[in-house]
């Protein structure tokens, strides 16, 4: 059974994610998955995958977009406001502090070493997010074709992301219509028997 999703719990959960994530919004994806799907059971895995896809497709930072979608799903407008506030507050605080002390520590070897370690950890988090969110698609041949097509367009042809996103939307609509037609044809075949 899902735990209580009060506004305070949403805020504190988002604040913890915002404070513990280095490397940008994509590094938050596995933490969103772990907190909201696995630990608290507030959102289903399929809904989370859809929110991540939508959060990535609309303008703005994926972390902010996803926090708005998650908060809205849990507590409507107030939830969206609380969630986005929680996820951005740690960054605002840290960036304010860094602004004042950066000049003094930018050449420090310990700070440089820590930042190199954080970059390595971010790569691991991104790979983890990728593998987690690809699980539902491993058995879906159409989704795998779309993934590899988008990957090749991105890496090999260096296509712009907006074209890949628009292509994905068009491909998804066509694939959805195609699946509905196949389903309707198979249902009508059962009715005549």
Looking at the fold, whether 122 and 52 belong to one and the same domain comes out as: yes
Looking at the fold, whether 36 and 106 belong to one and the same domain comes out as: yes
Looking at the fold, whether 121 and 157 belong to one and the same domain comes out as: no
pTM of the model: 0.57
Looking at the fold, whether 60 and 153 belong to one and the same domain comes out as: no
The last residue of a domain, from among 83, 113, 133: 133
Looking at the fold, whether 169 and 75 belong to one and the same domain comes out as: no
Q: Count up the domains in the chain and report the number.
A: 2
pLDDT at position 191 over 60: no
Looking at the fold, whether 26 and 66 belong to one and the same domain comes out as: yes
The last residue of a domain, from among 104, 133, 162: 133
Looking at the fold, whether 18 and 111 belong to one and the same domain comes out as: yes
> How far is it, in rounded angstroms, from Cα 22 to Cα 167?
30
pLDDT number for residue 85 = 92
Looking at the fold, whether 36 and 88 belong to one and the same domain comes out as: yes
- Of the ranges 79-83, 99-103, 153-157, the best mean pLDDT one: 79-83
Looking at the fold, whether 129 and 144 belong to one and the same domain comes out as: no
DSSP 108: -
> For 10-65, what is each residue's pLDDT tens digit?
898 888 888 877 666 677 777 788 888 888 888 888 888 888 878 877 777 778 88
Residue 184's φ and ψ, nearest 5 degrees, are -65, -40
pLDDT number for residue 179 = 81
DSSP 140: -
In contact, 83 and 48? CB cutoff 8 Å: no
> How far is it, in rounded angstroms, from Cα 86 to Cα 70?
12
pLDDT at position 1 over 50: no
Best CA proximity match to 33, nearest among 22, 44, 23 = 44
> How far is it, in rounded angstroms, from Cα 137 to Cα 121?
25
> How far is it, in rounded angstroms, from Cα 159 to Cα 87?
31
The last residue of a domain, from among 133, 160, 182: 133
Q: Which class for 99: exposed (0-12), middle (13-18), buried (19 or more C-beta within 10 A)?
A: exposed
Looking at the fold, whether 100 and 145 belong to one and the same domain comes out as: no
Best CA proximity match to 83, nearest among 57, 65, 59 = 65
Q: Which two tokens stand for residue 34?
A: 């772990």
Domain enclosing residue 46, as ranges = 1-133
Looking at the fold, whether 70 and 152 belong to one and the same domain comes out as: no
> How far is it, in rounded angstroms, from Cα 188 to Cα 193?
9
> For 67-94, what is each residue's pLDDT tens digit?
888 899 888 999 999 999 998 898 888 8
Looking at the fold, whether 98 and 172 belong to one and the same domain comes out as: no
> How far is it, in rounded angstroms, from Cα 67 to Cα 36?
11
């Amino acid at each position: 059974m899902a735990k209580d999703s009060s506004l305070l719990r949403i805020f504190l959960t988002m604040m913890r994610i915002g404070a513990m994530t280095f490397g940008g919004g994509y590094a938050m994806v596995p933490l969103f998955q772990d907190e909201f799907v696995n630990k608290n059971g507030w959102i289903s895995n399929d809904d989370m995958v859809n929110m991540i896809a939508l959060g990535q497709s609309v303008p703005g930072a994926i972390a902010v977009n996803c926090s708005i979608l998650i908060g809205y799903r849990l507590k409507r407008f107030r939830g969206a406001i609380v969630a986005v506030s929680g996820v951005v507050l740690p960054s605002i605080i840290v960036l304010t502090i860094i602004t004042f002390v950066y000049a003094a520590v930018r050449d420090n070897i310990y700070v440089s070493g820590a930042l190199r370690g954080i970059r390595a950890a971010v790569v691991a988090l991104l790979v983890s997010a990728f593998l987690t969110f690809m699980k539902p698609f491993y058995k879906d041949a159409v989704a795998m074709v779309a993934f590899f097509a988008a990957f090749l367009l991105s890496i090999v042809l260096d296509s712009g992301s907006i074209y890949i996103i628009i292509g994905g939307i068009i491909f998804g609509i066509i694939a959805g219509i195609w699946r509905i037609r196949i389903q309707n044809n198979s249902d009508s075949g059962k009715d005549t028997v």
